Amino acid sequence: MAPLANNHISVDCAVFGFDGEQLRILLLKRSGVTVAGEELNDFKLPGSLIYQDEDLDEAASRVLRELTGVSDIALTQFKAFGSKDRTSNPRDVHWLERAQQARVERIVTIAYFALVKLDKNLERSVDPAVAEWRALDEVGALAFDHNLIIEEALKAIRRETGNDRALVFDLLPKKFTASQLRTLMQILSGKQLDVRNFHKKISQLPYIVPLDERQQGVAHRAARYYRFDRKAYSGSR
């Protein structure tokens, strides 16, 4: 194992996917025992201390790959979390000291987010015994300040997708329905979007291209598929 830079700096990754109905986040199962000897069965973001010979971005990619099997995705640094209280919960300290085999002092973590397509490949690369794509409203109380990190990641994502609409399509499959796009836009904007207006709007956008293909094997009326045209989008800005 490479030498640790020190036990004060870590990276954490908030990786978001969209399952067609809601956002999901990749969480690591944390197992062990509490100070009181009870079984510990909760979740945390994939994250770890950085090594001496790696930059922050390298550390984030390595940690995510090593802990979850997910690799080759674009991680964006969005915020450092360094409250002096973030490693004060005895539950976390106990777990961390056993994992690190060292006394835990204060840790500042550099947080990254990623937006991914939740496809079969990605789902296969994650071992369900180790990690899980949890729906955002089923996340519960996470280790350390990881609930706060997710909250801030969502703020950063809302800001970034507001600046550059193309990022929204990082979360959608290559072929998507108007309803999937609308649901995702509602989640990201925090606003309800009127179905008819939304259809009218996307029909006017040159970068949302209707395909001659429809959903198959669905109980309801099969919806048309669309694709995102990155070139047309760049041209329209």
Residues engaged in binding a second copy (CB under 8 A): 5-6, 8-9, 50, 52-56, 77, 79-80, 82-84, 105-106, 108, 110, 159, 162-163
Neighbours of 115 (CB within 10 A): 21
Q: Give the shortest CB-9-to-a second copy separation in angstroms.
A: 5
Q: Give the shortest CB-168-to-a second copy separation in angstroms.
A: 17
Beta carbon nearer to a second copy, 8 or 165 = 8
Beta carbon nearer to a second copy, 121 or 163 = 163
Q: Which helix (H) or strand (E) holds 109?
A: strand 108-116
Beta carbon nearer to a second copy, 132 or 160 = 160
User: Residue 165 carries which DSSP code?
Assistant: G
Q: Give the shortest CB-137-to-a second copy separation in angstroms.
A: 27
For residues 45 and 136, is the Cβ–Cβ distance under 8 A?
A: no
Beta carbon nearer to a second copy, 152 or 170 = 152
Question: What are the tokens at 127?
Answer: 């071992």
User: Residue 120 carries which DSSP code?
Assistant: H
Q: Give the shortest CB-110-to-a second copy separation in angstroms.
A: 5
- SS3 category, 41: strand
Q: Give the shortest CB-35-to-a second copy separation in angstroms.
A: 23
Question: What are the tokens at 160?
Answer: 């970034």
Q: Give the shortest CB-167-to-a second copy separation in angstroms.
A: 13
Beta carbon nearer to a second copy, 109 or 177 = 109
Beta carbon nearer to a second copy, 55 or 66 = 55
**Parallel, antiparallel or unpaired: strands 176-177 and 224-228:** antiparallel
The burial class, CB within 10 Å (0-12 / 13-18 / 19+), for 117 is: middle
Say how far apart CA 174 and CA 37 lie, in whole Å.
48
Question: What are the tokens at 72?
Answer: 């080759």
Give one DSSP letter per residue of 166-217, joined into a string. Answer: GGGGGSS-SSEEHHHHHHHHHHHHTS---HHHHHHHHHH-TTEEEEEEE--S
Beta carbon nearer to a second copy, 112 or 225 = 112
Q: Give the shortest CB-164-to-a second copy separation in angstroms.
A: 10
